[in-house]
Structure 1
Amino acid sequence: MKVEAWIFAICGIFFALVTPAYWVIAKDWTGTSALTMSAFLALMVAGYLGFHANRMDARLEDRKDAEIAEGAGEYGFFPPYSWWPLWNALPLSLGVYGIALGAWWLFVIALGLGMVALAGMVFEYYRGEHAH
């Protein structure tokens, strides 16, 4: 995690250096405060990652003497194709269309269809071809 801490530290330093220049050039409070908060956020994340990187065991990516074979094994579960995101997007678009038209009855229908589609996506791996 030391590499990640350095990446965030470099970003935080960059934002801290750019902020005064932005204020001098643009005199814009909104952008200046956004850059200031971005610098603080990046430095906060860098501090957190750096703090915990010193207290935990080194990952394979952090060790210089690590072998590729040490990283072998199961990486996790990667789901196969799924049609459920499409069926979740259709009621969402129908609901947004209903709100834009002011047809609340269309929004209610889309809400019902969306609950069915969401339940189908949640329980996708409990039934059918990819059940386990």
Structure 2
Amino acid sequence: MKEQGKIFAGLSVFVLIMAITYGLWTTHSSHGIEAAGTTALFLAFGLCAFIAFYLGFTARRVDQGAGDNPEAEVSDDAGEMGFFAPHSWQPLSLAIGGALAFSSIIFGWWLMFWAAPIIAVGLYGWVFEFYRGENQNQ
């Protein structure tokens, strides 16, 4: 995790330099300030910096992984990676509800009356997926 944090820290510095350069470059153009691109680049810098901070902060609390050891082999990182849900229909209902919610911005806020319950049911089903049905833990 430490190496990944360094990669994101370097990326955040690069994006910050590019954001400043882009902001200064577009300020001197004949069309005035281009605020959307500059804002997007500064937000990308913030996101990269958040991820770098999180990975660096977490790397101090966990054991050194194979990715942090320059002498490591590919097989050193083999093994179980964690538990992943085998299958679920809940992301589909969340996607449909999200599509309706974003469509309500275009077509009218009345569409949100159908989107909100679909999102709520999908979210509830996904959170409590392993507390009922065939995947219930015993």
Whole-Å Cα distance in 1 between the matches of residues 75 and 39 of structure 2?
44
Over residues 96-132 of structure 1, what are the superposed CA-to-partner deviations in whole Å (9 max), with x where a residue is unaligned?
888988897x92x765565444333222112222223
C-alpha contact 2:98 2:115 (8 A) present in aligned 1: yes
C-alpha RMSD over aligned residues: 4.3
Residue 82 (structure 1) aligned with residue 88 (structure 2):
yes
Whole-Å Cα distance in 2 between the matches of residues 39 and 82 of structure 1?
32
| Percent of pairs with identical residues | 29
- Identify the match of residue 72 of structure 1 among 64, 73, 78: 78
How many residues are matched?
130
1:60–1:8 distance in 2 versus 1, CA, 3 Å: farther
C-alpha contact 1:84 1:117 (8 A) present in aligned 2: yes
**Bigger Rg, structure 1 or 2:** 1
Which sections of structure 2, spanning at least 5 residues, go unmatched?
none
Per the normalisation by structure 2, the TM-score is: 0.59
Whole-Å Cα distance in 2 between the matches of residues 4 and 98 of structure 1?
36
C-alpha contact 1:84 1:120 (8 A) present in aligned 2: yes
Per the normalisation by structure 1, the TM-score is: 0.61
Where do residues 19-34 of structure 1 align in structure 2 (5 Å cutoff)?
Answer: 19-25=23-29, 26-28=31-33, 30-31=35-36, 34=39
SS of 1:77's equivalent in the other structure is coil
Residue 17 (structure 1) aligned with residue 18 (structure 2):
no
Deviation, 1:95, is: 7.2
Whole-Å Cα distance in 2 between the matches of residues 41 and 128 of structure 1?
42
